[in-house]
Amino acid sequence: MGLVEDLKKDIAESRVVVVVGAGVSVQATDRAECASWTGLLRNGASHCADLNPGLKDKWLGIVQQEIESGDLDDLLSAAEKVTAKLGGRSGGEYRRWLRESVGALKPKHRAVLDAIQALGSPVATTNYDGLIEGITGHKAITWRDHS
């Protein structure tokens, strides 16, 4: 039996958890800016500069360089800078930005989402959007849900 047959058998026997990331969101939204992590960071940096025009020169340039470097440490640094400028994770502006950016994504191409749902397997994702929940009708469960 080949790998594909093994996988089909595992899916049929409910022994699979589907783990998806930003690639699914990028495909489903026809490459919407905020569907990818770097796109979301670019959007966040621009949003910070729009809120505080004093950031447009030096700060924005530094953050954009970090994002474009592709280096994981630089990306994390850029994410922390954006988070801090928006008032931190519990801040209203941070939450509003996420809701209005990645939280507002809508599918343009459902095929990949429909294919994931058709598997009938549990789905785990690192995505901030609600695209999978929107298609499946299932509510998200996070690490904070103790039950």
Q: Please choose, from the candidates 1, 90, 4, 84, the residue with its C-alpha nearest in 3D space to the C-alpha of residue 44.
A: 84
Q: What is the CA radius of gyration of the chain?
A: 18
pLDDT of residue 27: 96
Q: Coil, strand, or helix at residue 19?
A: strand
* Contacts of residue 77, Cβ cutoff 8 Å, sequence gap at least 6: 66
Per-residue pLDDT of the chain (147 residues; tens, 9 = 90+): 799 999 999 999 999 999 999 999 999 999 999 999 999 999 999 999 999 999 998 999 999 999 999 999 999 999 999 999 999 999 899 999 999 999 999 999 999 999 999 999 999 988 889 999 998 888 888 878 877
Instruction: Fill in the DSSP letter of residue 138.
Output: P
